[in-house]
A = this chain, B = another copy of it.
Amino acid sequence: MGRQPSAKPTSFDIAYLAGVSQPTVSRALRGSKSVSAATRANIERIARELNYTVDKNASSLRSQRTHTLALLFFEDPTPDESMINPFFLSMLGSITRECALRGYDLLISFQQMHNDWHVAYQDSHRSDGIILLGYGDYQLYLTKLEHLVEMGTKFVRWGSVSDDGIGLTVGSDNVGAGEQAGAHLIAIGRRRIAFLGDASDHAPEFQDRYTGLCRAMRQADVEPDPALQRDAVSSEDSGYAAAKSLLASGKPFDAIFAASDLIAIGAMRALAEAGLRLPQDVAIIGFDDIPSASLTSPTLTTVMQDMKGAGTLLVDALLARIDDRPVERTMLPARLIKRQSTAV
């Protein structure tokens, strides 16, 4: 209780107590091999007794390495905050864990795409590298990414691995996942398969999923019908609208592959309102396996991404980049979770 304020101990204090010089303390604690085992042990003991911790600021200033990563998450500038991509949280969990494991701190910041995030973190020596997550204006995104590359900033981003590839990208095997989904729908006898989700190059991940779907269909000698594709962003409302539009067109369809679970959930609402039975009249598959997917009725068949692996891979790739080690681009496998919405 009545403990003295005890000014934070410095490496000088330890040096004094150990009868050595301050640099020796630094060397000992950082694991330099040019300090004897006995001296090191003694220094470590004293450090522990004093509850000494290296001053992060001084250390970073001198070494020019912060041992901190920054995670920038881009949110759509919508009023509805719950639209945050639901699997983000799991990824955040594995990213923080991986960072902790490697001795790195994690700075986090939610950003709007139009802000000047691309200058703030590297120049001010807050972090050694940046992880980019989320969506937004894709063209603006690419512009700023180019700027990062120019400045020599180290970064990784989550996204479509098969895109033009500015910088280093880590992502799921969206094409393969789309293919799995398509093959499953074909296997249960569906031929007129609709796709809900932006198929343009403004949303490379959605585009990849559509590509996979088409590939699976063609493999079964079914030609995808462009009239059965509707643009949608990842939200219930957008999915609802897209399905409405599809229904209004009068074009018959017996299955939907939605680019995200939120889109799928919105679409299910529209289908139910139209009096269609799921999955008898229309089978439906989502993407992400958000918690709600197992609560819809019928429960939603969907694609589960490897979020733990994603966090680990993002951090590993970024650290490799920071250390100028070579890093091969990797795609994470995704798995189809079959539930009632495709159970015939």
Closest to A94 in B: B81
| Residue of B1, B8, B58, B92 touching A123 (CB-CB under 8 A) | B8
Cβ contacts A82-108/B at 8 Å (1 or 0 each): 101010111011001100100001111
| Residue of B81, B86, B105, B296 touching A295 (CB-CB under 8 A) | B296
Known A89-B84, A96-B110, A296-B295: A56·B126 in contact at CB below 8 Å:
yes
CB of A312, distance to nearest CB on chain B (Å): 13
B89 adjacent to A93 (CB under 8 Å) = no
Asked if A188 is at the interface (CB within 8 A of a chain B CB), the reply is: no
| Residue of B58, B109, B120, B291 touching A53 (CB-CB under 8 A) | B120
B90 adjacent to A89 (CB under 8 Å) = no
CB of A237, distance to nearest CB on chain B (Å): 14
B54 adjacent to A124 (CB under 8 Å) = yes
Cβ contacts A198-223/B at 8 Å (1 or 0 each): 00000000000000000000000000
Asked if A292 is at the interface (CB within 8 A of a chain B CB), the reply is: yes
A106 adjacent to B105 (CB under 8 Å) = no
A55 to B97 Cα, complex, angstroms: 27
B90 adjacent to A51 (CB under 8 Å) = no
Asked if A119 is at the interface (CB within 8 A of a chain B CB), the reply is: yes
CB of A76, distance to nearest CB on chain B (Å): 12
A68: chain B residues within 8 A (beta carbon): 107
Asked if A3 is at the interface (CB within 8 A of a chain B CB), the reply is: yes
Asked if A258 is at the interface (CB within 8 A of a chain B CB), the reply is: no
A93: chain B residues within 8 A (beta carbon): 75, 81, 84, 110
A58: chain B residues within 8 A (beta carbon): 57, 61
CB of A113, distance to nearest CB on chain B (Å): 15
CB of A256, distance to nearest CB on chain B (Å): 18
Closest to A3 in B: B150
Cβ contacts A286-305/B at 8 Å (1 or 0 each): 00001110011100000000
A124 adjacent to B53 (CB under 8 Å) = yes
Closest to A62 in B: B57
CB of A228, distance to nearest CB on chain B (Å): 26
Asked if A175 is at the interface (CB within 8 A of a chain B CB), the reply is: no
A110 adjacent to B123 (CB under 8 Å) = no
A52: chain B residues within 8 A (beta carbon): 123
Interface residues in A121-159 by Cβ distance below 8 A to B read 123-126, 150-152
A105: chain B residues within 8 A (beta carbon): 107, 109, 126
A8: chain B residues within 8 A (beta carbon): 123, 125
Known A88-B89, A109-B96, A109-B106: A57·B53 in contact at CB below 8 Å:
no
Asked if A5 is at the interface (CB within 8 A of a chain B CB), the reply is: yes
Asked if A265 is at the interface (CB within 8 A of a chain B CB), the reply is: yes
Q: Can you give 22 A-B contacts (C-beta < 8 A)?
A: A5-B152, A51-B119, A51-B123, A53-B119, A56-B126, A57-B60, A75-B93, A81-B93, A81-B308, A82-B90, A82-B291, A88-B89, A89-B89, A100-B109, A105-B107, A106-B108, A106-B109, A107-B107, A291-B291, A292-B292, A295-B295, A297-B297
Known: A84-B93, A106-B109. 7 other contacts (CB 8 A): A51-B123, A52-B123, A53-B124, A81-B308, A82-B291, A86-B291, A265-B295
Which 9 residue pairs of A and B lie closest in terms of their CB atoms, listed nearest first?
A57-B61, A53-B124, A57-B60, A53-B123, A295-B295, A96-B110, A292-B292, A57-B57, A108-B108
